[in-house]
Structure 1
């Protein structure tokens, strides 16, 4: 069988969630399947060592172009040129009116719930508009739709009025390099990025759903009580955006306690997690919440939200807060700071919880779906 996998952005330098999940899917399929012929379609970029070709996995560089053109023209054309038996699109969207049997990984449909035209970066706004245009036009023709959690499955089925069985759940997993790091490695990372000895960790993002403003309000409450004695490390966020947010809530005094290392490659994240007092993930809405598990796997206690998918992913291995109430975030931080027994309990539960999510298991289920397309075509 000739299988195409859309992995358009995996060679870009600054990879994020969907890109990293696609990389893990491909690497685990390479371990599993030495029979079918795979064509991995990517946009040419700088990080060419992300994946490597093998005897039955070919990497196809399509014409470098903006995502809509790349997907709607070049990817669609490639599906015919390479005589694919199926095409798996991994990042929410796919070519419209394609005749090749289509499998879609639909991570979420948040962009169909609200549009955020006046918030987030221009890149995020344009991406949401593109998804709003494409997704309703392709989902009903898909052979199978994968999503990442039971919560998101219910959201998708309700929105599109799908019958049970159309949407399947393949949970994200935890990459093998997410594990506790020794003190020497953590110290090297602290020195490299100028991190404080004691800090809370947050993955920054301009998307309003990440609730950075709510977190900053919570930190301000702690600072006003003169109890913000640790540093705050916010990854992948710029100083100008931070100053604007802090000024909007009259909290510019927090600037001296916040450290901005910028974008961090995924392989260095375990050291950031391992060195943190806690990982803060007070998001307003998630389809999964992969960093929750990554932090747990590195023995980092987690504070996360009691909304959408996050309680189902964290279970009882994290402190759950109301992300719309900054006081609940600040209370959780102070509680975790003071209670060593609670920290140890969360660390132990987190390690066990993270072990329940495997990319290899997910790839096995995906491969079975690929084979079901072949059986259906006979």
Structure 2
């Protein structure tokens, strides 16, 4: 499926052009913005709220935090209030819900699946993915049941659901029967990582000059086993090429050390400092990302924004993001993954072509466009 991010540039124009009939009082759950370790979900909330504050000139926004945010977390605005409402456990369903009952906003926005159990008024919620449906074994039973119940509830209770991709929108309809009329696909933005000193980052993580890169949590959903098998096959087919495979990320739930056992050329870095990601992408021959399921695959667009060619799965949301700017492969086919690696490793003009196309593709995904669509939803809900 070709990326339709260009359609959202129209959404930006529409949102900016709307003259709101009245001020909308907006409540936003900003509790994920103050966690110590920022992952994709937390970054989504932070970047979207920042862009929304910059774009909004009319509506009253109240941000609700469980913990005290740092002073520079969000831009200053006279029409944005920050409220810290501490509570140790079940913050969403007790403390945040109580604040909503007291403040009675016109609309509540939760950027991560879970709406409070009981509250008044209209609501918008973002559903990022339904990976727990495809890989239940990757979650403890209690967590899986909670994710399923809260996502089902939010999909029913919300007036509008924002889905990170058409693949997620389709999953909401398949698993929960959510009507397409209450789902709006709003692609997140992607910020180009800062590209620092490539040689310095190589030395820091003890990496060779040429390498294929995977970046993400090392877990079954990311298809690490088949990726390593494909790399081993590629090495067998190219005995004189010493290009390595770098697996950059922490070891996740159900990580299996047998995935990489007895395979030469593998480098496992552990967690990567955020400041090093850009140089890690820029120094790679290609990003190889044959994930079995992604609600939205940030690494493929981050790599493209750094000029790095991409090999990605032909499933879930990844074809929407890659479009014609990378190679798509069947993630279950080890030979197909290895063939794509061979194609890129041996064809410099092809790598240069994907380098140029990748820049253009990644540039379509901006937080300003995402925020404009969210603002339009607030004004038209």
User: Normalised by the size of structure 1, how large is the TM-score?
Assistant: 0.85
1:290 counterpart (298, 305, 310)? 298
Partner of 1:131: 147
1:28-86 deviations in Å (ceiling 9; x for gaps): 111111332222223427977543553222333332535xx122112212222333222
Cα distance change of structure 1 residues 38 and 281 upon mapping to structure 2, 3 Å threshold:
same
Cα distance change of structure 1 residues 301 and 35 upon mapping to structure 2, 3 Å threshold:
same
Partner of 2:39: 16
1:264-319 deviations in Å (ceiling 9; x for gaps): 32x54222211111111101112222221111111000000011221121111111
Matched, 1:273 2:281: yes
1:213 counterpart (203, 225, 242)? 225
User: Structure 1, unaligned stretches of length 5 or more?
Assistant: 374-378
User: How do residues 179-258 of structure 1 correspond to structure 2 at under 5 angstroms?
Assistant: 181=195, 185-225=197-237, 226=239, 229-238=242-251, 244-245=256-257, 247=258, 249=259, 251-254=260-263, 257-258=266-267
Matched, 1:161 2:169: no
8 Å Cα contact 1:195-1:259 kept in structure 2? no
1:107 counterpart (128, 148, 154)? 128
Partner of 1:344: 352
Matched, 1:259 2:268: yes
8 Å Cα contact 2:169-2:180 kept in structure 1? no
CA RMSD of aligned residues (A): 2.6
Distance 2:306 2:87 in 1: 37
1:40 counterpart (53, 63, 79)? 63
User: Structure 2, unaligned stretches of length 5 or more?
Assistant: 1-23
Distance 2:186 2:48 in 1: 11
Distance 2:68 2:246 in 1: 29
Cα deviation, residue 186, structure 1: 2.1
Matched, 1:354 2:343: no
- In terms of mean alpha carbon deviation, does 2-11 or 164-173 score higher? 2-11
Cα distance change of structure 1 residues 77 and 150 upon mapping to structure 2, 3 Å threshold:
same
Cα distance change of structure 1 residues 64 and 326 upon mapping to structure 2, 3 Å threshold:
farther
Over 6 Å off, 4+ runs = 45-48, 239-242
1:7 counterpart (30, 43, 46)? 30
Partner of 1:93: 114
2:53 counterpart (30, 34, 55)? 30
